[in-house]
Amino acid sequence: MPKLALSTPLSEILRTTKDHLDALREMGITTVEHLLLYLPRAHEDLTTMQTLTSTPLDTKVTVRGTVSQLKLVRTWHRKVLVQALFTDHEGAIAHITWFNQPHIMRMIKDGDEVVLTGKITESGYKLQMSSPQFEVAGRRPLVHSGRLVPIYPSHSLISTKWLREKMVALRDAIELLPETLPEEVIKEENLLDRRSTIRALHFPEDPAEVERALDRLAFEEMFHVQRDALERKREMKKHKSDRIKIPMDVELIRKFFQSLKFTPTGSQKIAIYEILKDMELSEPMSRLLEGDVGSGKTLVATAVMANVLRHGGQCALMVPTEVLARQHSESIGRTLINFHTFIQHTKKTRLPSIALLTGSTPLLESQSIKRGLASGTVDLVIGTHALIEETVQFKDLKLVIVDEQHRFGVAQRQRLAEKGSPHFLAMTATPIPRTLALTAYGHHDLSVLLEKPGNRKTIATKVVSPRDRFTVERFIDHQIGEGRQIFVICPLITTSVAEGMEEVRSVERERERLSNEFPRRRIAMLHGKLVPAEKEQIMRSFKDRRFDILVSTSVIEVGIDVPNATIICIEGSERFGLSQLHQFRGRVGRSDMQSHCFLFTSTPEQASSPRLKAMEKHDSGFLLAEIDLKLRGPGELFGLRQSGIPESKLGMLLNPEIVVRARRAAEKFLKREIVRS
């Protein structure tokens, strides 16, 4: 046997088959270290030894005793049985049968003391156990019973029992594992060292030790996340330049507020102040503006851009879709022009030049915009991915804003931010609890909008069973008669019988059904397979009230603003997460008229789902995000689930206390690192 090292290939150290080694390779496990770090997903407490008569029938028990009358039996069906009598320490007897496991005859002998784990049943006054797990006691420490037994994620040939036995063979190699946390952090946070942590998970002494090990794992994971985020933040702030320092023009912002037809909320005023204070520094700002649907993030962005334009800088706003880019171009342009008109009698300022740049912008127009950006004659450009092309260059870019920034890759956001090391503002309407924001966007400072502007009413939300569809659709028809418009959201574009999803409503079939149901109404269809020009035309026509009903997929989830649309119907609502349902709901309620959201379910049973009922009770996207997190788990929501990480650890990863502890520890550690260097 070769000298044991963490890098030793398992093929050289494990006594097993080629098929098992191939299965491990598929799991990404090829060395001693890989296997040691394949951690249990849970533990089962089998420390308490019971007797055959001390627990109810059909209950899983662990019992210790001796076997006798062991024999191999072949049935006329050619099945192989191993039968034995088992006597516990109180003298109670059970008849044991193992099916199709003849190898047991080589592993157990009459008179051996064994530990069995399984269910006890009764037949004709005889106690029985069928195919219990077994372990011969006394030959070696118990592995599968008599202790806190680790349960590993299984994979094809790799069973949890097989893994337990192999971990025993590699136990000594745990001492070779290097430490991955700074010594001072371990001491200050009272954490287990790494070797003790891994040992406690594979070979725990008691539940408290497992809890300490899980705490160490979760803390370490979050510490590295937070340290990386803080280091990225520190790296960003190294690019100091007096060029990007922009004074806050308080009088300008006051005039901006006066030019509006409404009063901004307190949250909007605070966010604007926080952003403008950041931009007074020579370090590039990196801030996340988080606000619920309809909370007025665009107004905050417009106010900030007005301050930049006032000081002669250029701004770029990148959004995920052409429809949204055009909408922002119109609404932001209108607001800035109104503001310019409002102040031009007191300040001699030129009207800002605003351009729209997308993938469908005609070539000559695109070239003209790019020349204007390079020469400085275009002050503000609003667009899609087209903004990050190499041919797009700026004369004096001072502020980059990315809307719904999670829809862009890190590299895409970085490419735009690098065009002059400008201030960077990310915006999202996806509600994220503060502790999760520290995790997912820890390199940003955070501003949150908690209120909604104007006199907008709460959207009346109702979960609708199939049996109540007729009543709701009569109400919808009446609302259309009153001049209102309707969104209908479907999970699919076309019905896919091949996937066994014929009951799931699709855009194409729903449009056909609604045309028959509402023959006097004008109905349009929108989905992601349409070319951008078609989507743009359909949305513009709907906004101009040429259609009464728009049947769409989730393509309308982000940002589309149609104030006259007061009803949204979501088909197959059980198929969407709460945060996405809340995003859909935000497409209505954009005026002072009462709006409605109907969550149609595929079956009557789904209409009583507590998850969907939460939509009826709560209007806060942040609260719904918390509920979604509890119901679906952080791994589902944030892509943290991976092979070998315990499920219990995943839950702790985004535990508020862990996040705050790790953030604080990472900040202290980095400060000490700066002093030491």
Q: What is the pLDDT of residue 635?
A: 45
Dist CA 639 CA 642 (whole Å): 8
- On whether the CB atoms of residues 325 and 383 are closer than 8 A, the answer is yes
Q: Which of 638, 631, 636, 594 is nearest to 613 (CA)?
A: 631
Q: What is the pLDDT of residue 378?
A: 96
- Torsion-angle region of 606 (φ positive above 0: left; ψ -120 to 50: alpha; else: beta): alpha
Dist CA 86 CA 52 (whole Å): 10
Task: Please give the structure tokens belonging to residue 424.
Answer: 């960077």
Backbone angles phi, psi at 143, to 5 degrees: -110, -45
Residue ranges covered by each domain of the chain: 1-43+150-177, 48-146, 178-236+635-677, 242-449, 460-618
Residue 447 host element (H or E): strand 445-449
Q: Do domains 242-449 and 460-618 have the same CATH topology?
A: yes
Q: What is the pLDDT of residue 191?
A: 96
Task: Please give the structure tokens belonging to residue 83.
Answer: 């039968």
Instruction: Specify the pTM.
Output: 0.66
Give the torsion through C-alpha atoms of 372, 373, 377, 380, to 10 deg: 120
Eight-class DSSP state of 103: T
Structural class in CATH, domain 48-146: mainly beta
CB atoms within 10 A of CB 212: 17
Dist CA 630 CA 380 (whole Å): 42
Eight-class DSSP state of 353: P
Angle between helices 578-585 and 610-617 (to 10 degrees): 40
CATH superfamily of 242-449: P-loop containing nucleotide triphosphate hydrolases (3.40.50.300)
The Cα-based distances of 29 to 1, 11, 33 in angstroms read 20, 11, 9
Which fold, 460-618?
Rossmann fold (3.40.50)
Mean pLDDT, 10 residues at a time, over the chain (677 residues)?
Answer: 82 91 92 94 82 84 90 86 91 91 89 88 89 80 80 87 90 94 95 96 92 92 86 77 91 92 90 95 88 86 95 92 87 90 65 91 95 95 91 93 70 70 85 62 76 79 94 95 95 62 75 93 89 83 93 74 92 88 88 92 91 90 75 48 43 66 90 83
CB atoms within 10 A of CB 260: 16
